[in-house]
Structure 1
Amino acid sequence: MDTQNYEYFYDWVFTHLNIQLDAYKEKQLRRRIFTIMKQSGAQTLEEYAALIHLDKGVRQKFLDYITINVTEFFRNRDLFDNFERLLQTKLSKRFDSISIWSAACSIGAEPYSLAMIMKRNNLPLKQAILATDIDETILDRAKQGIFRENEVKNLSIIDRDKYFVEKDNRFELDETIKKMVHFKKHDLILDTYEKNFHVIVCRNVTIYFKNETKEDIYRRMSASLVTGGLLFTGATETIYQPEQYGLKKVASFIYEKVD
């Protein structure tokens, strides 16, 4: 029987790390916390909190494990193809320039994918693509623009040769694409959202949140979109009754702001 004091730990994490764990789905989260706690050698969550406080390495492992940094370029390629087509047929005809936010961007593969789409279609950005994540260490890695082979597997040979240099089984991104993205720390649950985006991409993150948290995120993202803007979600993140958020479905996992 699991007798760990999760309420104490959630409060401690919020106070010391400013992360609201009770917004996550409970069973999945507790399983993940228990696993990473055992790996640290701690027997109780009180011991684990003390370790996180004292040891930067333990703290970073906890953050990496909880925030789930799994990503790759053009993840679910068919969905990205649909998204690119909508950029060409809808947004480029409606707006002179496009403002994009890539939320929960992890190591940067997603916002850099968006930058490649914008570049090859000669679509003007209003400003650099905003790419945000809660994990500052992962943002530092994203800024470097260096990726493993499995992270670039969905790239076409043309894009890989055009935008990357291979060095020691790592793929280093071209500066022209890197300069199209601005990285910034942001918490989807606790922080305010910027406004007037034409595109918001938030994929494969809300599946970890409770329904009320997920609904609040979609509501706030819709408010951050201009009318006619697009919200692009992950391949397991269907928004049921999108009209309650002022959205309508225009393709699989892509929604348009309608009011």
Structure 2
Amino acid sequence: MLKAAANKKSKEDADFASLKNIIKTRLGFNCEYYKDSHFRRRIDVRLRATGSENFGEYIQVLKQDQNEQDILLETLTVNVTNFFRNSEVYDIIEKEVLPAVIKSKGIGMNKSIKIWSAGCSIGVEAYSIAMLFHHILGNRIGRYNISITGTDIDKASLQHARNGIYSEVEMKDVRPDFMQRYFVKEGNQYHIKDELKKMTRFKPHDMISGPKMGGFDIIFCRNVTIYFEKELQEKLYMKFYEGLNKDGFFVMGKTETLLGPSKDLFRSYNAKERIYAK
């Protein structure tokens, strides 16, 4: 009985490894750096949905059904998200962080400010930041060249972000005056106004293996690295540190913690809200 159980476990582990390889080669999604527990939870959703008893059966479904490949990729990358999620973080961003960045640029015309929303999903974080810049600067907005770059590996999410069309669910934490000022409502949908779209751009980028990005005044990477193994988290935090300008800010998720060399390099700006300064 013990031998049978061991053989079953060995077969399951081998099938899981094969499945991860198929996801990497066919879907272009590198699973190796992510925690197995996270992947197993997401994949289990599709096993149940397709009636697969185990990873081996699901592999056959995945090989034969292109539609299932698309659904799996969406399942692996989907994030629950909305504008101004964790409002207390955005309070500090609005009242302290953005004013500090603006002040650092001095007085004059065409001052450049660069922001990176890493793992941007459907773009709500990038647009939330754009709204705050507009709100703070008012008619002074034209004096600054503000560029907010949102990156993700999920092409469908990036297209959603570019379209800038959102449902009531994503709008639940948007202030009424912001809703009026920065959106056009059509039926049950809310369309981002062009003045915010002009400040943002969305592009595919794998923060793990993609080219280095730099020159940023603030980098946001919230609720993304919790899915990564510790060693990778350490590397990413160093990438973000190196990607910031002097005195730039790094904003991470409330459940995430700095690890490795970055822990000593970053200065804690607001520990409770996980905001750090270079």
TM-score (norm 1): 0.90
Q: Which amino acid aligns with 2:76?
A: I
Contact 1:103/1:132 (8 A) holds in 2: yes
Distance 2:61 2:118 in 1: 30
Q: Which amino acid aligns with 2:191?
A: E
Contact 1:200/1:221 (8 A) holds in 2: yes
Distance 1:89 1:174 in 2: 23
The answer for the alignment partner of 2:191 in structure 1 is: 172
The answer for the alignment partner of 1:200 in structure 2 is: 219
Structure 2 residue corresponding to 1:112, chosen from 114, 127, 133: 127
Contact 1:219/1:245 (8 A) holds in 2: no
Q: Which amino acid aligns with 1:110?
A: E
Structure 2 residue corresponding to 1:139, chosen from 158, 169, 174: 158
Distance 1:145 1:161 in 2: 15
2:256 aligned with 1:256: no
Give the C-alpha shift of residue 243 in structure 1.
Answer: 4.9
2:100 aligned with 1:90: yes
Secondary structure in structure 2 of the residue aligned to 1:73 = coil
Q: Mark the CA change 1:148 to 1:213 in structure 2 (over 3 Å): closer, same or farther.
A: same
The answer for the alignment partner of 2:207 in structure 1 is: 188
Secondary structure in structure 1 of the residue aligned to 2:122 = coil
1:32-85 Cα offsets, whole Å, 9 max, x none, are 212213313444435534544554432222112111321100101111110122
Q: Computing the radius of gyration over CA atoms, which structure comes out larger, 1 or 2?
A: 2
Distance 1:69 1:56 in 2: 22
Q: Which amino acid aligns with 2:18?
A: Y
2:86 aligned with 1:76: yes
How many aligned positions are there? 257
2:41 aligned with 1:26: no
Show structure 1 runs of 5+ residues with no match: none
Give the C-alpha shift of residue 97 in structure 1.
Answer: 2.7
Secondary structure in structure 1 of the residue aligned to 2:268 = strand
Secondary structure in structure 1 of the residue aligned to 2:113 = coil
Higher mean C-alpha deviation, range 159-168 or range 236-245: 236-245
Distance 2:225 2:63 in 1: 28
Distance 2:205 2:86 in 1: 25
Structure 1 residue corresponding to 2:250, chosen from 231, 244, 249: 231
RMSD value over aligned CA atoms? Answer: 2.1
Distance 1:204 1:138 in 2: 16
The answer for the alignment partner of 2:71 in structure 1 is: 61
Higher mean C-alpha deviation, range 102-111 or range 10-19: 10-19
Contact 1:218/1:245 (8 A) holds in 2: no
The answer for the alignment partner of 1:214 in structure 2 is: 233
Q: Which amino acid aligns with 1:191?
A: G
Show structure 1 runs of 4+ deviating over 4 A.
Answer: 240-243
Higher mean C-alpha deviation, range 81-90 or range 141-150: 81-90
| Identity value in percent | 33
Structure 1 residue corresponding to 2:147, chosen from 128, 138, 149: 128
Q: Mark the CA change 1:112 to 1:31 in structure 2 (over 3 Å): closer, same or farther.
A: same
